[in-house]
Amino acid sequence: MMRDLTASSEREACQPRFPAHALAGLAGTSFKPQHLQAILAGPRPRGFFEIHAENYMGAGGPPHRALEAIRRDHALSLHGVCLSIGAPQPLDTAHLARFADLVLRYEPALISEHLSWSTHETVYFNDLLPLPLTEATLAWVCEHIDQVQEAIRRPLLLENPSTYVLFREQTMRETEFLRAVTRRTGCGLLLDVNNVFVSATNHGFSPLEYLADYPLGLVGEIHLAGHAEQSDDEGGPLLIDSHDRPVADAVWSLFESVIARVGPIPTLIEWDSEIPEWPRLEAEVAAAQKILDHAASVGGRSHAA
C-alpha cells in the first residue's frame, strides 16, 4: 500500500503545473514586475518572457505571484547569472539546487547560463568575467555544464560573453571553444548578437567573420540588447553591454544576417536598467518579431553547424 501511495505521489509530482506554450519563431523580452499590470491589462502578447533565476530563489511572496500570473499564459526562458560555470573552483551546490528547483517549479522552455565566472573562493563579483580559452578551461567548463545538466535534467544553452580584455595564454578562438563545449557536453548555445558586436568592436575583429565561424546550427535562443558607447584610455571605441537602451542599428543588421541563414530562432530583447514603459519594450519585441516572421515566410531553417 505504501508503495502504491509513493508511486501515485511521484506521478502527481511529474504532472506539469503550467501549459506548455510554444515559442518557436517567437520574439520575447525580459519580464519586469513593474510591467505586470500593463501586460495583463492589454491584449495578450504573442511572445515569451525571460527571467533571471537569481531573482526568484526565495520561497514565495510577490515575485512568485507575479511570475505565476505570467507563466500561465506564456512560455518562459530561465536565464542564470550566478552559477559561475567558468570558475576553476567547484560549483556552489546549494545555488545549483535552488536553480534546479526553479526549473521544476516553472517548467521553462529554455534554460541558459553564461560562459563566464563570477566567484573566487568565498568572494562573489557582481560581473560576468571573461575566461582564458585554453584546454584546461575547457575541461572544467565541460565538467560544470555536465553537473548543471544532470541537476536540471535538461539541456543547457551556453551564452557567448561580451568581453573587454583578452588573455595572452589563450589558445582557442571563442567559436572553437564553444563548438568543443557542445561536442563534449551535448549542451546548446545562446547566441547574444549584441555581445558579438561589443566584443568585436572592443577587440578589433569582424563580427561577420565571427558569425561565419559560429556553430549556428546549435543555437536554441538569441539575445538582443542595447550597449553604451565609451572611449578607452587611448581614445579608441569601447562598448559596454549595458542593456539600458534600444538595440543598435548595427546589431539589428547582424541579427537579420543570422536569421537569414538559420531561420526564425526564439529571440529575446534584454533591457535590464533604465527600464522603459511597457509600450517601448513592446515596440522592440515587435521589430524582432517582424524579422522572424519574414524569415518564416520565405523558407525553412537551414542549420550551419
Q: 33 in a domain, yes or no?
A: yes
The pLDDT assigned to 13 comes to 54
Cα separation of 275 and 56, whole Å?
19
Q: 280 in a domain, yes or no?
A: yes
- In the block, cell 555536465 appears at 146
The pLDDT assigned to 235 comes to 73
The pLDDT assigned to 275 comes to 95
Q: Give the distance, in angstroms, between the CA of residue 56 and the centroid of all CA atoms in the same chain.
A: 16
Tally Cβ neighbours within 10 Å of residue 48.
Answer: 26
- CATH of residue 32's domain is 3.20.20.150
Cα separation of 276 and 278, whole Å?
6
Whether the CB-CB separation of 110 and 266 falls below 8 Å is answered with: yes
Q: pTM for the complete prediction?
A: 0.91
Q: 304 in a domain, yes or no?
A: no
Domain count of the fold of the chain: 1
Residue 146 has pLDDT above 80, yes or no: yes
In the DSSP assignment, the letter for residue 86 is: T
- Provide φ and ψ at 270, rounded to 5°: -95, 135
The pLDDT assigned to 303 comes to 43
The pLDDT assigned to 305 comes to 46
Q: 164 in a domain, yes or no?
A: yes
Average per-residue pLDDT for the chain = 90
Q: 182 in a domain, yes or no?
A: yes
- In the block, cell 551564452 appears at 159
What is the four-CA torsion angle of 15, 31, 268, 253, rounded to 10 degrees?
170
One-letter amino acid for residue 131 of the chain: L
Whether the CB-CB separation of 119 and 86 falls below 8 Å is answered with: no
The pLDDT assigned to 230 comes to 85
Residue 234 has pLDDT above 50, yes or no: yes
- 170 confidence band (pLDDT: 50, 70, 90): confident
Q: 56 in a domain, yes or no?
A: yes
For residue 210, the enclosing domain spans 23-298
What percent of the chain has pLDDT above 70? 90
Residue 171 has pLDDT above 70, yes or no: yes
The pLDDT assigned to 121 comes to 62
